[in-house]
Structure 1
Amino acid sequence: MPAGEVIEPQEQPWSRRRLRSTNERLLLDRLRALGAASRAQLARETGLSKPTVSSALASLAAAGLVHEVGTHAPERGRTAVLYAPDPAAGYVLGVDVGRGWLRVAVAGLDGTVAARADVRNRARTSAALADLVVGTARRVVGDSGVDPAEVVHGVVGTPGVYDEERRRVRYAMHLPGWGRAGLFDRMREELGVPLEVHNDANLAALGEYTYGVGAGSRLFAYIMIGTGLGMGVVSEGRLFTGAHGLAGEIGFLPWPDRRAGQEEPGRHRPERLEDAVSGVAVVEAARHFGMSGQLTAKAVFDAARRGDAAAVRAVELEGERIAHTVAAAAAVLDPDLVVLGGGVGHSVDLLLGPVRAHLRALTPLRPAIAPSRLGEDAVLLGAVATALGTARDLVFARRTGDG
């Protein structure tokens, strides 16, 4: 070799494959953000050359990941073909397990729900509830017309916290037996779908951030008030779960009732925040103030709207207690937004005024407070959004061979 001559290293085949895969994934992500785009627009958006964009789009189309969705005719120049991600390249399963209702949905890779079912949870054992989840999920997949093999990932939202090491849910107080080890392994096996398990309030927060009123918040807290009490925290678009997945379990906070000793004999005094703020607490307060008969939290709120004095006092007390909950969250997290959701949270039309009034008296920290935009669908849509994050990676790897 002559002195001074430099031999250029040969580009390795794996490097070329990696580069192609990176370019293809970049284009696919940009298309998801844009909805649809032409080759020229993608070249401008990504900084890739037009020949590279054309080659990558051809590969993505051959893999079934993108398809042509129309044309665009500019004022000058040639008509351009528009491309978009193919939502039918794969599907996800979202499941919301609640004490009163089970909600299940199948959605394409664009998040559009293809089919869903909302069924009453009348299961009295954990085995019966697992059967209900599996049976409902199979029915929804069948109703969607989707090949079950194309459902690549699923996410289940449940009260409590899933312990991956012990393969069981912990702290699901309102679902008896639901903490039995192996239940979710059984559901995975019977459905033939990989299932992640997440806390329902956390998924509701992600759903509200992705599709609802939390979009664009730097840090927001979703407070779920229903059968129990929970909170999900989203910071910079990412869920904050703590060291052991227990962040947001505010229902376990102690509740020092300032009226201790003033209740009627035998009346239950709340010892945890969940006891004071949940739907059960609304019913207890209404009875204490004079309401009778078969009561639910919804019935109490409906009576308050009609002007029933006992119901109005119960709602006022609930607003005060929710204000304490918001004050605690504000002091620890400094959120720019607090979203109220869950069954009780759906009655924000009555609660928002008392919550804000009591919050002013409790603390100088006053984040914006808003009702959930997604309502009862928050957990389910959060499950879908979470499943999509994994499913898109899986589908891309399978269809491009990028293992």
Structure 2
Amino acid sequence: MGFSHLSRPGESFSAAELTPSAKAVFRSLVASGPATRPQIGEQLALSRPTMSASIGELERLGYVEKVGESQGSLGRKAALYRVGAGAGRVMAIDAGSTHVRLRVATLDHRLLHSRTYRLPASHRLMNEEISRAVAEEFAAAAGEAETGWGPLRAVGIALPSRVVADGAERAATRQDELFTHFAPPAGPELVLENNVNCAAVAERVYGVAKGRDDFAYIQIGLKLGMGLMLSGRLIRGRNGAAGEIGHLAYPFAPGHTPVAGEAETYLGTEMLMRRVRQAWPEKAGPPPEDAGALFHRAENGDAPAREHVERHAADIGALVASCVAIVDPGLVVLGGGVGTSPLILPVVRTVANALSYPVDVETSSLGPDATVLGIEKLAVDRALDVVLVQTSP
């Protein structure tokens, strides 16, 4: 359907009179991608007249469009439909500690535009530098927008911080640091979520935890974090702190006083490299410059490097075992720059299962895109509430 049939900025754009069957058809296309009327009708148990009427309703709003034909099993061709430009788009931003990743996509997750910006320095906390990068990347992406993309329905931003609603804890989360340079546009819905929670969402929809109702996603890199999915629901906690394993007090030993957040300090890549440099044998030459170089050398057979990596993997295995002892998720997905190393997985599996209850441990299949894909899914969910004129639960 041509853009002339779509809503222009400033026009009323309501789906208040959409029938339940039309809404169900639209949700099916959002979730599963292009399909024919017979395919959707069979999936939703809708009659041919109901399907015809539903597609007609959606076409009038520009919510669906015909994109071709599909050959049926009996030789007949059927029109193939997908989500139309009138349904609009979302913008998803991963405001990370080292990178800002951005995606503009349709509600059925077709990529329209993407960009990645590497921050000049790493940041353990949400701050003005990340806010400035978000503002610049948002402006650059907005400048690339085409009219045929339809209206911007929602902007989702994944933050390296806890995220809470209004309340006393909000200032402590640092989430409002996002707005020191970035001003959200008027109109589109704004969705904020913790970055590791977003990665967990993506793993359940697209990754190795696809279809699993219970699992934990543990990110290991510069920082530590855990996203928990239990009974098919993302667990956030009263203070948005569920899964904040980096905040664990450490160490527990005679003569030591546990310090809040010391687990992240000890297991983060900065402290790892400090230990590597202190213990590196002189006869082995200069130590690796950073964690990436350490893991590269270990993968290529460097004995001292491999020893440090395996020791670090054993520490991670102990951390995973602690998480398993608390929530018993059945599956743990490892992510982050360190967590996705192939050298880490076998050691973590062995140690975690030796120290706690049986658990499957897998490496994320989504890599660095996990967080931005997760916040995109959450932004689409919010956009659907707008498009179908429903209230979020």
Q: In structure 2, how many angstroms separate the alpha carbons of the residues matched to 1:205 and 1:371?
A: 12
Larger Rg: 1
Deviates most, 245-254 or 138-147: 138-147
Aligned to 2:333: 339
Aligned to 1:42: 40
Q: Secondary structure at the match of 1:385?
A: helix
Aligned to 1:233: 228
Q: Secondary structure at the match of 1:335?
A: coil
Q: Secondary structure at the match of 1:187?
A: coil
Alignment equivalent of 1:205, drawn from 190, 200, 216? 200
Change (3 A) 1:276 1:136: same
The reply to whether residue 274 of structure 1 matches residue 267 of structure 2 is no
The reply to whether residue 372 of structure 1 matches residue 364 of structure 2 is yes
Q: In structure 2, how many angstroms separate the alpha carbons of the residues matched to 1:389 and 1:70?
A: 27
Q: Secondary structure at the match of 2:237?
A: coil
Change (3 A) 1:144 1:20: closer
Q: In structure 2, how many angstroms separate the alpha carbons of the residues matched to 1:324 and 1:245?
A: 24
Paired AA for residue 121 in structure 1:
L
Change (3 A) 1:282 1:44: same
Instruction: Count residues with an aligned counterpart.
Output: 368
Change (3 A) 1:71 1:286: same
Change (3 A) 1:44 1:343: closer
Q: In structure 1, how many angstroms separate the alpha carbons of the residues matched to 2:335 and 2:360?
A: 14
The reply to whether residue 217 of structure 1 matches residue 212 of structure 2 is yes
Q: In structure 1, how many angstroms separate the alpha carbons of the residues matched to 2:175 and 2:70?
A: 56
Q: In structure 1, how many angstroms separate the alpha carbons of the residues matched to 2:172 and 2:220?
A: 16
The reply to whether residue 289 of structure 1 matches residue 282 of structure 2 is no
The reply to whether residue 310 of structure 1 matches residue 304 of structure 2 is yes
Alignment equivalent of 1:361, drawn from 342, 354, 357? 354
Q: Secondary structure at the match of 1:163?
A: coil
Aligned to 1:97: 95
1:101-250 alignment runs, 5 A limit? 101-122=99-120, 126-145=127-146, 150-165=151-166, 179=174, 181=176, 183-184=178-179, 187-189=182-184, 193-250=188-245
Change (3 A) 1:107 1:33: closer
Q: In structure 2, how many angstroms separate the alpha carbons of the residues matched to 1:180 and 1:43?
A: 44
Paired AA for residue 289 in structure 1:
A
* Per-residue deviation, 1:276: 2.3
* Per-residue deviation, 1:313: 2.3
* Per-residue deviation, 1:181: 4.2
Aligned to 1:8: none
Paired AA for residue 266 in structure 2:
A
Aligned to 2:5: none
The reply to whether residue 330 of structure 1 matches residue 331 of structure 2 is no
Could you report, residue by residue, the CA deviation over 1:129-184 in whole angstroms, capped at 9, with x for unpaired residues? 32321111121233353579722111111111123315986666xxxxxx274743
* Per-residue deviation, 1:128: 4.2
Contact 1:162 1:199 in 2 (8 A): yes
Deviates most, 382-391 or 233-242: 233-242
* Per-residue deviation, 1:251: 0.8
Q: In structure 1, how many angstroms separate the alpha carbons of the residues matched to 2:22 and 2:147?
A: 26
CA-based RMSD of the aligned residues comes to: 3.2
Change (3 A) 1:27 1:192: closer
Q: In structure 2, how many angstroms separate the alpha carbons of the residues matched to 1:250 and 1:334?
A: 15
* Per-residue deviation, 1:33: 4.2
Contact 1:91 1:152 in 2 (8 A): yes
Q: In structure 2, how many angstroms separate the alpha carbons of the residues matched to 1:305 and 1:77?
A: 54
* Per-residue deviation, 1:61: 0.6
Could you report, residue by residue, the CA deviation over 1:284-331 in whole angstroms, capped at 9, with x for unpaired residues? 221232165572111211222233333222212211111111111211
Paired AA for residue 82 in structure 2:
A
Could you report, residue by residue, the CA deviation over 1:212-231 in whole angstroms, capped at 9, with x for unpaired residues? 11102121111011111000
* Per-residue deviation, 1:18: 7.5
Q: In structure 1, how many angstroms separate the alpha carbons of the residues matched to 2:177 and 2:150?
A: 23
Structure 1: tracts of 5 or more residues without a match: 1-16, 173-178, 262-268, 399-403
Contact 1:163 1:170 in 2 (8 A): no
Q: In structure 2, how many angstroms separate the alpha carbons of the residues matched to 1:339 and 1:224?
A: 8
Q: Secondary structure at the match of 1:353?
A: helix
Contact 1:106 1:141 in 2 (8 A): no
Contact 2:154 2:383 in 1 (8 A): yes
Change (3 A) 1:149 1:355: same
Deviates most, 28-37 or 94-103: 28-37
Could you report, residue by residue, the CA deviation over 1:241-287 in whole angstroms, capped at 9, with x for unpaired residues? 122211000111122265978xxxxxxx9972212221123212212
Aligned to 1:255: 250
Q: Secondary structure at the match of 1:397?
A: coil
Structure 2: tracts of 5 or more residues without a match: 1-14
Contact 1:218 1:336 in 2 (8 A): no
**TM-score when normalising by structure 2:** 0.83
Q: In structure 1, how many angstroms separate the alpha carbons of the residues matched to 2:260 and 2:274?
A: 10
Change (3 A) 1:379 1:252: same
Aligned to 1:387: 379
* Per-residue deviation, 1:38: 3.5
Q: In structure 2, how many angstroms separate the alpha carbons of the residues matched to 1:190 and 1:321?
A: 44
Q: In structure 2, how many angstroms separate the alpha carbons of the residues matched to 1:167 and 1:346?
A: 36
Q: In structure 1, how many angstroms separate the alpha carbons of the residues matched to 2:261 and 2:18?
A: 59
* Per-residue deviation, 1:46: 2.6
